[in-house]
Amino acid sequence: MPDLDDERKIMDVKRARIHHVVQRVGTEFEYVYDFGDDWEHDLLLEAILQPDPNIPYPRCIAGERNCPPEDVGGSGGYENYLVALADPEDEEHEDLLAWRGPFDPEAFSLAAINQQLQKKFHPLRVRTVPPTPAQPNPAKGGGPDKASLLRALWAVSGIPPKGSHTNSP
């Protein structure tokens, strides 16, 4: 019978936002990448930084060493890959060079990583919310009309209201 303490909640990274999963500095969690190769990463949220509206996100702020090639076979396959690449006499050396080309496990480029992130995620920028115009006081019988509410909603969300035929809020 499995130990209940060992049960973990598994979440689909395509459906979960990191800020909903990890909310406090000091939170530790395990991230499994590629269930076939079973890359397990133990992660710790060290800090929460305020976003800069002039910087594209997501972005890498630090790192070390090269990322193992895709489909190398998990950590055991990666170790074998590095051994074979380092030894020109290894029977797999030439095949691995033909498969991926030269590989430096110590190489790391912050600029290259951020360029890849921008290409993949089409730079997400922090959006600023436009100021809301003063509204009549509902307590005194006044209030915004439906058109004003729809324009304000459009300005914040960027999504035009259904049936809208104008080109601006």
pLDDT on residue 23: 85
- The length of the chain in residues reads 169
pLDDT on residue 93: 95
Beta bridge partners of 94: none
Grouping H, G, I as helix, E, B as strand and the rest as coil, residue 1 is coil
The radius of gyration of the chain from alpha carbons, rounded to an integer in Å, stands at 25
Triad 99, 100, 106: Cα angle to 5°: 145
Please list the pLDDT of the chain residue by residue as tens digits (169 residues).
444 445 667 777 778 888 888 889 999 988 887 767 788 889 899 988 888 888 888 889 899 999 898 888 888 999 999 999 999 999 999 999 999 899 999 999 999 999 999 998 875 555 555 555 555 555 555 555 666 666 666 665 566 656 555 544 4
Beta bridge partners of 95: none
The residue type at 9 = K
Pair 80, 90: CB distance under 8 Å = no
Distance CA 69, CA 67 (A): 6
pTM value is 0.55
- Other CB atoms within 10 Å distance of the CB of residue 7: 8
